Structures are given as structure tokens and as C-alpha cells.
Amino acid sequence: MTVTLIIGYIAAVLGMVAWVPQAIQVWRTGDSRSLSLPANLLFLATVIMWLVYGVLVMDWPIILANVVATACMIAIVAAKLKFG
């Protein structure tokens, strides 16, 4: 495996798990005041589009990474809508 491919996989794995701590924190604390709703909606749209793209090209790493990220972003946006 080339260095380039390894860096790509590291980026994909980091991107998959990055928003898990935010989803946990916002639901544990009930505090979402400093979260930007437009930013989180835009990023939810981003990961949904990547998920659709992954399905269209049948690329399992893209699909898996963006299923996890989409679940996190839905949890974060839901918390923002609930807690304000």
C-alpha cells in the first residue's frame, strides 16, 4: 500500500469518527447554544451527498464512513433543534 493510500484511509477513518464526541457531548449536557445550526445542516447535507455518491459508485469505505457520520450529524442537528 502506498503512503498516499494510507493517508487517504487515515483521513476516511478520522472523518468517520470525528463527530461522535460532539454527538455524545450535546446529548449528555443538553447544551447546544454555541453550535451553528446552518453549519451543522450544511455538513449533514454534505455527508448525505457523500453517502449517495458512495452508493452510486458502490464504494464500501465511502458508504461506511458516511453512514456513521450521517448518524452523528442527525443526532447533533436533532439536539440543536431540541435544545436551541
Sequence-ordered list of residues with C-beta below 8 angstroms from that of 73, at least 6 positions apart, any chain: 19, 40, 43, 44, 47
Q: How far is the CB of 79 from its own copies (least distance, A)?
A: 9
By beta-carbon proximity to its own copies, the closer residue of 15 and 71 is 15
Nine cell digits for residue 58: 458502490
Query: By CB under 8 A, is residue 81 in contact with its own copies?
Result: no
Contacting its own copies (CB under 8 A), which of 35, 63, 64, 75? 35
The Cα 33–Cα 12 span in angstroms is 29
Query: By CB under 8 A, is residue 61 in contact with its own copies?
Result: no
